[in-house]
Amino acid sequence: MDGLDVLGKLENEVVVKGLSAAQVWRFLTDTSKWEGYYDNVADISFPEGGGPALKDGLVFSFGTFGFPPLDALVPEFQAPADGVPGRLSWTAKQDGAPAEKLDVLHAWLVEDLPGGRVRILTQETQIGQPAAALAGERPNPMLPGRT
Protein backbone atom coordinates (compact mmCIF):
# COMPACT_ATOMS: atom_id res chain seq x y z
CA MET A 1 0.00 0.00 0.00
CA ASP A 2 1.21 3.46 -0.82
CA GLY A 3 3.10 5.26 1.92
CA LEU A 4 2.66 2.58 4.57
CA ASP A 5 5.32 1.16 6.85
CA VAL A 6 5.78 -2.58 6.57
CA LEU A 7 5.84 -4.44 9.85
CA GLY A 8 6.86 -7.63 8.16
CA LYS A 9 5.98 -11.26 8.18
CA LEU A 10 5.47 -13.45 11.22
CA GLU A 11 5.38 -17.21 11.05
CA ASN A 12 4.66 -19.90 13.60
CA GLU A 13 4.61 -23.65 13.08
CA VAL A 14 3.71 -26.33 15.58
CA VAL A 15 3.21 -30.09 15.33
CA VAL A 16 0.86 -31.54 17.94
CA LYS A 17 0.17 -35.17 18.77
CA GLY A 18 -3.30 -36.39 19.72
CA LEU A 19 -5.29 -33.89 17.63
CA SER A 20 -6.68 -34.00 14.13
CA ALA A 21 -6.84 -31.26 11.53
CA ALA A 22 -10.65 -31.38 11.77
CA GLN A 23 -10.51 -30.66 15.52
CA VAL A 24 -8.19 -27.67 15.05
CA TRP A 25 -10.24 -26.45 12.08
CA ARG A 26 -13.33 -25.95 14.23
CA PHE A 27 -11.45 -23.53 16.50
CA LEU A 28 -10.08 -21.53 13.56
CA THR A 29 -13.33 -21.24 11.64
CA ASP A 30 -15.93 -20.78 14.40
CA THR A 31 -15.53 -17.15 15.47
CA SER A 32 -17.78 -17.75 18.49
CA LYS A 33 -14.87 -19.76 19.97
CA TRP A 34 -12.15 -17.14 19.37
CA GLU A 35 -12.68 -15.14 22.57
CA GLY A 36 -12.45 -18.40 24.57
CA TYR A 37 -8.80 -18.92 23.65
CA TYR A 38 -7.61 -15.53 22.36
CA ASP A 39 -7.93 -12.54 24.68
CA ASN A 40 -7.10 -9.95 22.05
CA VAL A 41 -10.22 -10.17 19.89
CA ALA A 42 -13.57 -8.48 20.45
CA ASP A 43 -16.71 -7.23 18.81
CA ILE A 44 -16.89 -9.82 16.03
CA SER A 45 -19.74 -9.03 13.66
CA PHE A 46 -21.00 -9.96 10.22
CA PRO A 47 -22.22 -6.80 8.47
CA GLU A 48 -23.50 -8.72 5.42
CA GLY A 49 -24.98 -11.60 7.45
CA GLY A 50 -23.63 -15.09 7.97
CA GLY A 51 -21.30 -16.25 10.69
CA PRO A 52 -20.24 -17.21 13.21
CA ALA A 53 -18.55 -19.86 11.03
CA LEU A 54 -16.10 -18.55 8.47
CA LYS A 55 -16.50 -19.56 4.84
CA ASP A 56 -15.10 -18.56 1.48
CA GLY A 57 -15.98 -14.96 0.63
CA LEU A 58 -17.42 -14.11 4.05
CA VAL A 59 -17.13 -10.50 5.22
CA PHE A 60 -16.72 -9.90 8.94
CA SER A 61 -15.47 -7.26 11.35
CA PHE A 62 -13.54 -7.49 14.61
CA GLY A 63 -11.53 -5.44 17.08
CA THR A 64 -7.97 -6.22 18.12
CA PHE A 65 -5.09 -4.41 19.87
CA GLY A 66 -7.38 -1.47 20.61
CA PHE A 67 -7.80 -0.56 16.93
CA PRO A 68 -11.21 0.44 15.63
CA PRO A 69 -12.95 -2.63 14.20
CA LEU A 70 -11.20 -3.99 11.13
CA ASP A 71 -13.17 -4.97 8.05
CA ALA A 72 -12.15 -8.48 7.01
CA LEU A 73 -12.73 -10.86 4.11
CA VAL A 74 -12.11 -14.62 3.81
CA PRO A 75 -10.50 -15.11 0.35
CA GLU A 76 -9.37 -18.70 0.96
CA PHE A 77 -11.25 -21.49 2.66
CA GLN A 78 -10.49 -25.18 2.07
CA ALA A 79 -11.53 -27.52 4.90
CA PRO A 80 -9.10 -30.36 5.63
CA ALA A 81 -9.94 -33.75 4.13
CA ASP A 82 -8.13 -37.07 3.62
CA GLY A 83 -4.79 -36.14 2.10
CA VAL A 84 -5.80 -32.49 1.70
CA PRO A 85 -4.60 -29.86 4.18
CA GLY A 86 -7.00 -27.23 5.42
CA ARG A 87 -6.22 -23.74 4.14
CA LEU A 88 -7.73 -20.59 5.59
CA SER A 89 -6.85 -16.96 5.12
CA TRP A 90 -8.46 -13.65 5.87
CA THR A 91 -7.48 -10.12 4.99
CA ALA A 92 -8.38 -7.04 7.00
CA LYS A 93 -8.07 -3.38 6.17
CA GLN A 94 -8.55 -0.10 7.94
CA ASP A 95 -8.63 3.02 5.81
CA GLY A 96 -8.08 6.58 6.85
CA ALA A 97 -5.13 8.89 7.32
CA PRO A 98 -1.67 7.29 6.90
CA ALA A 99 -1.33 7.04 10.67
CA GLU A 100 -4.49 4.88 10.77
CA LYS A 101 -4.18 2.68 7.65
CA LEU A 102 -3.66 -1.05 8.10
CA ASP A 103 -3.50 -3.93 5.65
CA VAL A 104 -3.33 -7.35 7.32
CA LEU A 105 -3.24 -10.94 6.05
CA HIS A 106 -3.49 -14.03 8.27
CA ALA A 107 -3.20 -17.51 6.77
CA TRP A 108 -3.28 -21.02 8.23
CA LEU A 109 -2.36 -24.43 6.89
CA VAL A 110 -3.68 -27.32 8.99
CA GLU A 111 -2.76 -30.86 7.97
CA ASP A 112 -2.89 -34.33 9.41
CA LEU A 113 0.48 -36.08 9.67
CA PRO A 114 1.30 -39.75 10.23
CA GLY A 115 1.29 -40.98 13.81
CA GLY A 116 -1.82 -39.12 14.96
CA ARG A 117 -0.19 -35.70 14.64
CA VAL A 118 -1.33 -32.41 13.11
CA ARG A 119 0.79 -29.59 11.68
CA ILE A 120 -0.46 -26.04 12.17
CA LEU A 121 1.34 -23.33 10.22
CA THR A 122 0.35 -19.70 10.74
CA GLN A 123 1.67 -16.86 8.62
CA GLU A 124 0.74 -13.22 8.88
CA THR A 125 1.73 -9.83 7.58
CA GLN A 126 0.82 -6.40 8.86
CA ILE A 127 1.38 -3.26 6.81
CA GLY A 128 0.80 0.20 8.19
CA GLN A 129 1.98 2.73 10.71
CA PRO A 130 -0.23 1.41 13.57
CA ALA A 131 1.27 -2.07 13.18
CA ALA A 132 4.79 -0.67 12.92
CA ALA A 133 4.21 1.29 16.15
CA LEU A 134 3.05 -1.88 17.94
CA ALA A 135 6.07 -3.78 16.65
CA GLY A 136 8.32 -1.12 18.17
CA GLU A 137 6.89 -1.61 21.67
CA ARG A 138 8.87 -3.70 24.16
CA PRO A 139 7.75 -6.26 24.85
CA ASN A 140 6.12 -6.56 21.44
CA PRO A 141 2.40 -7.13 22.20
CA MET A 142 1.80 -8.86 18.86
CA LEU A 143 4.20 -11.73 19.45
CA PRO A 144 2.65 -13.30 22.54
CA GLY A 145 -0.84 -12.45 21.26
CA ARG A 146 -0.67 -14.17 17.89
CA THR A 147 -3.40 -16.54 16.80
pLDDT for residue 134 = 66
Average pLDDT over all residues of the chain: 85
- pLDDT (average), residues 126-134: 72
The model's confidence at residue 122, banded by pLDDT at 50, 70 and 90, is very high
pLDDT for residue 87 = 98
Q: Which residue has the higher pLDDT, 139 or 111?
A: 111
pLDDT for residue 63 = 87
6-136 is a CATH 3.30.530.20 domain: yes
Domains of the chain: which residue ranges? 6-136
- Is pLDDT at 59 greater than 90 in this prediction? yes
The model's confidence at residue 2, banded by pLDDT at 50, 70 and 90, is very low
**Could you write out the three-class secondary structure of the chain?**
CCCCCEEEEEEEEEEEECCCHHHHHHHHHEHHHHHHHCCCCEEEECCCCCCCECCCCCEEEEECCCCCCEEEEEEEEECCECCECEEEEEEEEECCCCCCCEEEEEEEEEEEECCCEEEEEEEEEEECHHHHHHHHCCCCCCCCCCC
- pLDDT (average), residues 58-65: 90
Q: How much of the chain exceeds pLDDT 90, in percent? A: 56
